[in-house]
Structure 1
Amino acid sequence: MANLALFDLDHTLIPTDSDHEWGRFMVKLGIVNAENFARENDRFYADYKAGKLDIHAYLVAMLTPLAKHSREQLKAWHDQYMHEVIRPAIVPAAMELVRQHRDAGDLCCMVTATNEFITAPIAEAFGIDKLIACEVETIDGHPASAFTGRPAGTPSYREGKIVRTEAWLASLGKTWSDFERSYFYSDSHNDIPLLEKVTDPIATNPDDTLRAYAQTHGWRILELFQTT
């Protein structure tokens, strides 16, 4: 029986926040008003770390600039973003972690609160075929059409990660009980709800709140970004 391996992204598989860095990248390119957007971007990021993020307001703020540009232009910018920001940040230990699960035949999925526009190419870079991310609404519902600047569906944030993961498993005709072992790797206390659902919760590069929670509950703690 294959096991289930779920991976958060930001500060878990990469030592940065892809959403926050994309915001900074938009400022750098002049896509958004530098002062106003940078201030809002930093405020939302602080709210996330504090566990009080308004996910809907955040998604609208991050997605609205996308609606002003063609998919071709956005892809070109994202390719540049991957080259300049994301790929240099990927560490071999994170790639090896994913590879071990894939080689074991585990069903792998990236489950992130960052939107699918930003994260789909990152999941691909890690060789993870299935992505659960905050969905981005398109004008006519077609995946290749222009963005409206609004989110769609249930955000994959906090308990929403459980809702989205269980819906995906159901689409495969599976439930948690179909897996002998289920793993979830995350750095964030925001992910405690999903960590509590799996048989093997792994606090990965955990924030202080999650580290304390993991220690109290006897969870494994994994450090992928330590340097010697």
Structure 2
Amino acid sequence: MTPAEESKPAPSPIAAADRPPADMAAAAFFDVDNTLMRGASLFYLARGLHSRDYYPTREFLSAGWQQLKFRIGGAEDADGISQIRELGLAFIAGWEVDDLAELASEIFDEALATKIWPGTAALAQRHLDQGQRVWLVTAAPVEIAQLIADRLNLTGALGTIAETQDGRYTGRLVGDLMHGQAKAEAVRILAARENLDLSRCAAYSDSANDVPMLSLVGMPYAINPDRKLRRYARKNGWRIRDFRRARRAARAGLAAAAMAGAVGGAAAAAAALRRTALGRHHSPLGVPLRRRNSAWWKVR
């Protein structure tokens, strides 16, 4: 370990909190998946929807496989990201925005406390304590990103925008995925709007795909970095923080445990999907949720 390593109109992708900052020129930008929380946030949403009989088994298992590769390998896979995006967009097409928002809130309230990296959350809190604003910057839908930001009392979020029409998702994006260079452009636009001095700002990510965003700021951090980002951070003297514990044991045991769980979960999920075909569902809060009229909902 080197010395640098330390153990309507379309909605805006930027949502700001009401709390006035004391340091107007400095801010921090945090990636979400594998940086702020373990694994992929969209997988946790898919898992929660699946447990409520709203997400088809085959698509859930595909998302689970991508999550498994992400957790073990630590690196984002471009094909995997594209696959999850297409599955997600096809799934939400026709959903009412308010219905999905309510479900997402329930799911993340259940999962968030156990999935957040305490070390990363402490870094975000340190910026807040210094009177600086903190934004999440993620490829996840901006609604999900803002939900997480709200739960952690952060300033706001920048994320991917899903198109809506008449209060329902169309299954298309507004613009492109908030990923790679797009994150850097979004941060640059936000900095100009908020009069931020990027040389005084910090950015945190686990992925080499976020080097453009990390390179924008004066204080870049590699958090739980993939191999490519770790090498780049060492070469450029960036700070490295790795909050993962028992990595070797996890890599040895996670695959077997996940596969065993997937086999058992698939049988239970198939039975749940057969029940799903019988009619309407209600959320745990008793709010009726309409299933969209789509072949996706047929038992496979």
TM-score range, shorter chain: 0.7 to 0.9
2:93 maps to which residue?
A: 67
Q: Which runs of 5+ in 2 are unaligned?
A: 1-22, 247-300
Query: Contact 1:60–1:150 at 8 Å: present in 2 too?
Result: no
8 Å contact 2:145–2:158 — kept in the other structure?
Answer: no
Does the 8 A contact of 2:133 with 2:155 survive in 1? no
Structure-2 residue corresponding to 1:192: 211
* 1:113-132 correspondence runs (5 A): 113-132=139-158
Q: Which amino acid aligns with 2:239?
A: R
Q: Deviations over 1:125-154 (max 9, x none)?
A: 1212221101111105xxxx2221221124
Q: Which moved more, 1:127-136 or 1:217-226?
A: 217-226
- Return 123-132 or 50-59, whichever deviates more: 50-59
Partner residue, 1:181: 200
Residue from 52, 57, 74 that aligns with 2:78: 52
Q: Does structure 1 residue 167 correspond to structure 2 residue 189? A: yes
Superposition map of 1:91-110 within 5 A: 91-110=117-136
Q: Is the 8 A contact 1:20 1:42 kept in 2?
A: no
Q: Please tell me whether the aligned partners of residues 204 and 222 of structure 1 are also in contact (alpha carbons under 8 angstroms).
A: yes
How far apart are the structure 2 equivalents of 1:45 and 1:161? 24
Aligned residue for 1:34?
57
- Match of 2:243, SS state, is coil
Alpha-carbon separation, structure 1, partners of 2:28 and 2:161: 21
Which residue in 2 is equivalent to 1:5? Answer: 28
2:164 pairs with 133, 138, 142, which one? 138
Task: Note the residue ranges of structure 1 that are not aligned, 5 or more in a row.
Answer: none
TM-score (norm 2): 0.65
Cα distance in 2 for residues equivalent to 1:13 and 1:88? 12
- Which of 42, 45, 48 is 1:22 aligned to? 45
Distance in 1 (CA, whole Å) between partners of 2:76 and 2:115 is 24
Partner of 1:78: 104
SS in 2 for 1:196: helix
Larger radius of gyration: 2
8 Å contact 2:133–2:154 — kept in the other structure?
no
The 1-side partners of 2:240 and 2:128 are apart by: 21
Letter in structure 2 aligned against 1:150:
R
Identity among equivalent pairs (%): 27
Change (3 A) 1:40 1:13: closer
How big is the alpha-carbon RMSD for the aligned residues of Structure 1 and Structure 2? 2.6
SS at match of 1:166: helix
**Per-residue deviation, 1:101:** 0.2
User: Which AA in structure 1 matches 2:191?
Assistant: L
Asked if structure 1 preserves the Cα contact closer than 8 Å seen for 2:26 and 2:133, the reply is yes
Aligned residue identity for 1:148: T
TM-score w.r.t. length of structure 1 = 0.83
Answering whether residue 106 of structure 2 is matched by residue 87 of structure 1, we say no
**Amino acid of the structure 2 residue aligned with 1:188:** S
Contact persistence 1:67–1:149 (CA under 8 A): yes
What code does the residue aligned with 1:8 have? D
Single out whichever of 131-140 and 59-68 deviates more from structure 2: 59-68
2:213 pairs with 1:213: no
